[in-house]
Amino acid sequence: QVQMVESGGGLVQPGGSLRLSCAASRIFSPNIMGWYRQAPGNQRELVARITRGGDTSYADSVHGRFTISRDNAKNTVYLQMNSLKFEDTAVYYCNTAPPTRHVWGQGTQVTVSS
């Protein structure tokens, strides 16, 4: 079974940037991939998604600050996060959109703190 491996998280100050990567454990190129996040006490939410052809959409909370992209040849999806805010603190995951249960990886922690 394919699994996603997320990386690139870390501790960053408000206003800072991070670039997350998500690689599939094997060849995997579904039509729509998404980045999700889950903050403590909250449900997991979809923040950005991208089609195989490159069409993107974003949650209102991140629109204009985050950019999703993908490299189909490398089975990799990226999330460029700029102008980070305290409320962006969460564990970030990638998966298909809508999500496929067995594909969830461990996620990568993003902490925005001064």
Which comes out higher in pLDDT, residue 1 or 71? 71
Edge-to-edge strand order for the sheet containing 32-38?
Answer: 10-12, 108-112, 90-96, 32-38, 45-51, 56-58
* 50-108 tens-digit pLDDT: 999 999 999 999 999 999 999 988 999 999 999 999 999 999 999 999 999 988 999 99
Strand partners, 34: 49, 95
